[in-house]
């Protein structure tokens, strides 16, 4: 292993679901302590902590966590980057190691979202009794619902529909079948919030949230945390053979925001920045999409999964529908996608998601994924996108030790 | 007739209601909000540009769950108006997939949002089927 490589030494996720008896610090502590233990290190070894919790981003989750599991005076970075918060925390720890500030970093993401309901948009204020223009559009009244939608399901539904308009072949049923796959995959994942297999009829017949996404086609709000210990290659060399064998190489760690594209300020363009991140990641890792044994991508909605097949270049440009129809993304297919059940069934505790998807990939690369193990997995990719936008792509490889 | 104000400042009322964009004088990028600079070329000069009132539906969704206070269902869409993308609702047609489709031709239409205490009407816009 090269001295300047970055490795995941220890990683853990809590079970996703309802945790009414635990607060965000409990969940973060559970994941962080388990990740340290998994890596065979303690807080004494950690030189930097990056922590994310989106819903109370101003509360300083990193320091709150330190006060419960170990205050050692190290720098703490509290990060918030929409649904890419967890990936941003991990990348922050990695950057500190790459900068030579410390050989060991800890990244944590945690969220409590059970019962949170619909995200984004917020309540529209009642119209005032005097029309007074305000804001960047000089609006005299609330525009959500009057000029399009600000809800996440509505935005991502349009993202999928736009792909259909551009390339054809999409339908309500096609999107529902993507969801059927992920719910089927979830039955093998005991860490998932929901492990219920759903038929196509059940999915299509469920409550419509924003056409064409029904409720089971939307990411599930839930509680959870995930944490990872990252180390330099030089540091890893000083550890035991057992630790070296279970360490997972971070072959690429990329974060992008959306470059200007025509109309990107009308409907968020989740495509260009994902393609940009993927391109950089494949180049940094020296792997191609064909090399991937599994992919965990950001299926915040079934419509989003389809476009990301294309954005991550798992298929030819414009070929996402055919790619899905070929069965490629089922767990026994050519490029298994979201064998964890994805955000639609595993759940989406926002800031935890960007580390939990990396845990899933690591679990397979270590050969520790039990019933859902993708046989002989060597290379995997984890992708998240936070609207606004931020995109994180990590490529992970099994240790050769 | 009661006095009228547009729901947003980029809606121009009158006999020929239409939208007006802030167009970057160096690269032509169009924006609907108040600008500090151009997100594409970083230029700081803008001119007003009228947007075609007709276009086609490039993407849509039918929102059934929205924030409190927002009547549902409604059709939220992105309309390609002769090369300029516009966010707006598809109105004056039932909000279901039988009546709204990708590529559908539409035209700008205005409607009354409400009247304030002074009796002024706020006028909003949407896009209705062309045929
Ligand atoms: Zn410009």
List the Cα angle A302/A366/A34 in 5-degree steps. 85
How large a percentage of chain A has pLDDT more than 70? 98
Which of A149, A157, A164 comes nearest B66 by C-beta? A149
Taking the domain A6-117+222-250, which CATH number applies? 3.40.47.10
Query: How high is the pLDDT of residue A121?
Result: 55
Indicate if the pLDDT at residue A12 is higher than 90.
yes
**Mean pLDDT of the A251-266 span:** 96
Backbone φ and ψ for A284, nearest 5 degrees, come out as -60, -40
**Mean pLDDT of the A218-242 span:** 97
For residue A117, give the 3-state DSSP assignment. Answer: coil
Spatial neighbors of A88 by CB under 8 A, at least 6 apart, are: A50, A52, A79, A81, A255, A354, A390, A392
> What separation in Å is there between the alpha carbon of A264 and the centre of ligand 1?
14
Q: Are A329 and A181 in contact (CB under 8 A)?
A: yes
Contacts of B78 in chain A (CB under 8 A): 148, 158, 162, 263, 266-267
Q: Give the span between the Cα atoms of A274 and A308, in whole angstroms.
A: 8
Question: Among the listed ranges A114-118, B73-77, B98-102, which one has the minimum average pLDDT value?
Answer: A114-118
Q: Are A85 and A143 in contact (CB under 8 A)?
A: no
Q: Give the span between the Cα atoms of B41 and A279, in whole angstroms.
A: 23
Q: Is A9 buried (19+), middle (13-18) or exposed (0-12) by CB count in 10 A?
A: buried
Chain A to chain B Cβ contacts (< 8 Å)? 165
Q: Give the span between the Cα atoms of A401 and B71, in whole angstroms.
A: 60
Query: 3.90.1150.10, 1.20.272.10, 3.40.50.12500, 3.40.47.10: which CATH number matches A152-192+252-398?
Result: 3.40.47.10
Contacts of B108 in chain A (CB under 8 A): none
Q: Are A51 and A28 in contact (CB under 8 A)?
A: yes
- Mean pLDDT value across chain B: 96
Indicate if the pLDDT at residue A69 is higher than 70.
yes
Which of A124, A138, A149 comes nearest B63 by C-beta? A149
Query: How high is the pLDDT of residue B69?
Result: 83
Inter-axis angle of helices A24-39 and A61-69, to 10 degrees?
60
**A104-111 and A48-52: which strand pairing?**
parallel
For residue A51, give the 3-state DSSP assignment. Answer: strand
Predicted complex ipTM: 0.96
Contacts of B72 in chain A (CB under 8 A): 145
Confidence class for position A118, pLDDT limits 50, 70, 90? low
Which residues form the domain of B28? 4-129
Q: Is A120 left (phi over 0), alpha (psi -120 to 50) or beta?
A: left
**Mean pLDDT of the A28-32 span:** 98
Query: How high is the pLDDT of residue B2?
Result: 80
Query: How high is the pLDDT of residue A28?
Result: 98
- Interchain CB contact of A209 with B (< 8 Å): yes
Query: How high is the pLDDT of residue A119?
Result: 60
Closest CA to B87 of A375, A143, A301: A143
Look at the block and give the residue holding tokens 């594209």: A261
Q: A228 is written with which tokens? A: 């990872």
> What separation in Å is there between the alpha carbon of A141 and the centre of ligand 1?
29
For residue A334, give the 3-state DSSP assignment. Answer: coil
Query: How high is the pLDDT of residue A116?
Result: 77
pLDDT digits (tens, 9 = 90+) for B24-59: 999 999 999 999 999 999 999 999 999 999 999 999
- Interchain CB contact of B78 with A (< 8 Å): yes
Look at the block and give the residue holding tokens 């700081």: B44
> What separation in Å is there between the alpha carbon of A145 and the centre of ligand 1?
30
Q: Are A281 and A292 in contact (CB under 8 A)?
A: no
Query: How high is the pLDDT of residue B68?
Result: 84
DSSP state of A123: P
Backbone φ and ψ for B23, nearest 5 degrees, come out as -105, 130
pLDDT digits (tens, 9 = 90+) for A327-345: 999 999 999 999 999 999 9
- 2-61 in chain B: CB under 8 A from chain A: 5-10, 29, 31-34, 39-40, 57-61
Q: Give the span between the Cα atoms of A123 and A143, in whole angstroms.
A: 11
Q: Which residues of B86-115 are buried (b: 16+ CB within 10 A; e: fewer)?
A: bbbbbbebebeeeebebebebebbbeebeb
Look at the block and give the residue holding tokens 């330099």: A232
Q: Give the span between the Cα atoms of A81 and A343, in whole angstroms.
A: 18
For residue A386, give the 3-state DSSP assignment. Answer: strand
Q: How many domains does chain B have?
A: 1
Active site residues of A: 83, 348
List the Cα angle A210/A213/A219 in 5-degree steps. 105
Backbone φ and ψ for B115, nearest 5 degrees, come out as -125, 135
pTM: 0.96
Show the beta-strand stretches assigned E in A84-217. Answer: 104-111, 208-211, 213-214
Q: How far is CA B89 from the centre of its chain?
A: 7
**Mean pLDDT of the A293-302 span:** 98
Q: Which residue of B has its CA nearest to A152?
A: B66
* R_g of chain A computed on alpha carbons: 21
The CA–CA distances, whole Å, from A142 to A137, A138, A348, B81, B126 equal: 11, 11, 29, 24, 15
Q: B48 is written with which tokens? A: 């007003």
Query: How high is the pLDDT of residue A315?
Result: 98
- Mean pLDDT value across chain A: 96
Q: Are A3 and A235 in contact (CB under 8 A)?
A: no
Q: A200 is written with which tokens? A: 């196509």
Question: Which residue spans of chain A are classified as CATH 3.40.47.10?
Answer: 6-117+222-250, 152-192+252-398
- 22-81 in chain A: CB under 8 A from chain B: none
Query: How high is the pLDDT of residue A128?
Result: 83
Query: How high is the pLDDT of residue A120?
Result: 58
How large a percentage of chain A has pLDDT more than 90? 94
How large a percentage of chain B has pLDDT more than 90? 94
* R_g of chain B computed on alpha carbons: 16
């Amino acid at each position: 292993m090269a001295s300047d490589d970055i490795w995941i030494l220890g990683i853990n996720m809590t079970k996703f679901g309802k945790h009414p008896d635990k607060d965000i610090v409990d969940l973060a502590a559970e994941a962080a302590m388990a990740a340290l233990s998994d890596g065979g290190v303690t807080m004494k070894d950690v030189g930097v902590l990056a922590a994310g919790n989106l819903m109370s981003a101003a509360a300083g989750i990193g320091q709150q966590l330190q006060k419960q599991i170990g205050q050692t005076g190290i720098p703490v970075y509290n990060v918030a980057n929409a649904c890419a918060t967890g990936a941003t925390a991990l990348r922050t720890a990695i950057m500190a190691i790459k900068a030579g500030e410390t050989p060991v970093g800890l990244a944590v993401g945690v969220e409590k979202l059970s019962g949170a309901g619909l995200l984004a948009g917020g309540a529209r204020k009642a119209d005032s009794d005097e029309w007074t223009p305000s804001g960047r559009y000089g609006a005299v009244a609330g525009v959500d619902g009057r000029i399009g939608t600000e809800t996440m399901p509505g935005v991502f539904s349009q993202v999928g529909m736009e792909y259909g308009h551009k390339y054809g072949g999409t339908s309500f049923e096609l999107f529902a079948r993507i969801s059927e796959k992920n719910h089927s995959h979830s039955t093998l994942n005991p860490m998932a919030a929901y492990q219920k297999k759903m038929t196509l009829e059940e999915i299509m017949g469920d409550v419509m949230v924003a056409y064409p996404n029904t409720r089971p086609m939307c990411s599930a709000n839930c509680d959870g945390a995930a944490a990872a210990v990252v180390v330099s290659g030089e540091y890893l060399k000083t550890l035991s053979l057992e630790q070296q064998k279970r360490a997972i190489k971070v072959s690429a760690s990329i974060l992008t925001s959306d470059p200007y594209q025509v109309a990107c300020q009308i409907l968020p363009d989740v495509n260009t920045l994902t393609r940009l991140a993927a391109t950089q990641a494949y180049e940094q890792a020296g792997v191609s999409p064909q090399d991937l044994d599994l992919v965990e991508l950001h299926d915040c909605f079934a419509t989003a999964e389809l476009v990301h097949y294309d954005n991550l270049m798992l298929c030819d440009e414009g070929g996402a529908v055919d790619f899905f129809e070929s069965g490629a993304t089922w767990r026994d297919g050519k490029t298994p996608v979201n064998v964890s059940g994805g955000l639609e069934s595993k759940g989406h505790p926002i800031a935890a998601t960007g580390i939990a998807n990396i845990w899933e990939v690591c679990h397979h690369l270590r050969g520790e994924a039990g019933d859902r193990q993708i046989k002989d997995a060597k290379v995997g990719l984890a992708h998240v996108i936070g609207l606004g936008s931020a995109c994180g792509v990590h490529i992970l490889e099994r240790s050769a030790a | 007739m009661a006095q009228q104000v547009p729901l947003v400042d980029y809606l121009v009322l009158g006999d020929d209601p239409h939208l007006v964009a802030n167009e970057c004088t160096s690269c032509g990028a169009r924006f609907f909000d108040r600008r500090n600079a151009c997100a594409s070329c970083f230029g700081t000069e803008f001119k007003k540009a009228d947007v075609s009132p007709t276009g086609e539906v490039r993407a849509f969704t039918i929102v059934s769950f929205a924030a409190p206070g927002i009547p549902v269902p409604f059709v939220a869409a992105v309309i390609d108006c002769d090369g300029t993308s516009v966010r707006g609702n598809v109105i004056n047609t039932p909000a279901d997939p039988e009546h709204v489709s990708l590529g559908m031709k539409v035209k700008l239409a205005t409607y009354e949002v409400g009247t304030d205490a002074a009796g002024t009407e706020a006028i909003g816009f949407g896009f209705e089927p062309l045929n």
